[in-house]
Amino acid sequence: MRYRFTSDLSEQGIDNLIKQLEQYQRDLQHHLDLFVKRLGEIGIPVVNAYIARAKGDSDKTHNTEVFLDGEGNVRSARLILYGPDILFIEFGAGIHYNNGNAHPKAAELGYGVGTYPDQKYAINPGYWWYLGDDGETHFSLGTQATMPMYNASLEMMRRVSDIAREVFG
């Protein structure tokens, strides 16, 4: 996205320069939108890969979306992940697969092994039983903290310069 602005100092030349600047502004806005969208989209395959490799009995059903937002010249993208057991997959549940809180943000965010409301058995060695929504008692080894969102954020940070060069040339 390289521009060169040229004009003579006549009234028509100044009008032409204004048109060039307005086109540059539209192009810049388009490229900013594309930049934040591409950056957000980098996270989706990372999230999917980490969820797929999570060990344990958590429900891996999930949706991942990129939402673009902006006001004026400020643009943002939010990578949103939702599903029934996403917090278990992100931060871990039980010590069978997790030695303490492996997630680097667990303490800061107040999540991790042993932090879920009404939990009683997170630090029991090996396994536990829980009453499911179906009214049945289920055996559980917990869930490995695979940190899909954390790892997606690291990948997006790692690739920000590459994406900027790709989009802005």
Q: pLDDT tens digits, residue range 62-73?
A: 999 888 877 766
pLDDT at 53 over 90: yes
Whether 53 and 15 have beta carbons less than 8 Å apart is answered as no
> What is the biggest distance separating any 2 CA atoms in the chain, rounded to whole angstroms?
83
Average pLDDT over residues 4-10: 81
Q: How confident is the model at residue 119 (pLDDT cuts 50, 70, 90)?
A: low
Tell me the residue length of the chain: 169
Residue-level pLDDT at 81: 94
Give the whole-angstrom CA distance, residue 22 versus residue 19. Answer: 5
| pTM score over 0.85 | no
How many Å apart are CA 25 and CA 120, to the nearest integer? 57
pLDDT at 15 over 70: yes
- Cβ-based neighbour number of residue 116 at 10 Å: 14
Q: What is the pLDDT of residue 124?
A: 63
Identify whether the C-beta of residue 75 lies closer than 8 Å to the C-beta of residue 32: yes
Question: Please, what is the end-to-end C-alpha distance for the chain in angstroms?
Answer: 5
Bridge partner list, 67: 78
The winner for highest mean pLDDT among 18-22, 48-52, 112-116, 130-134 is 48-52
For residue 149, count other CB atoms closer than 10 A to its CB.
22
- pLDDT at position 141 is 83
3-state secondary structure of 166: helix
Contact 64, 48 (CB under 8 A): yes
What proportion of the chain, given as a percentage, has pLDDT over 70? Answer: 88
Amino acid present at 7: S
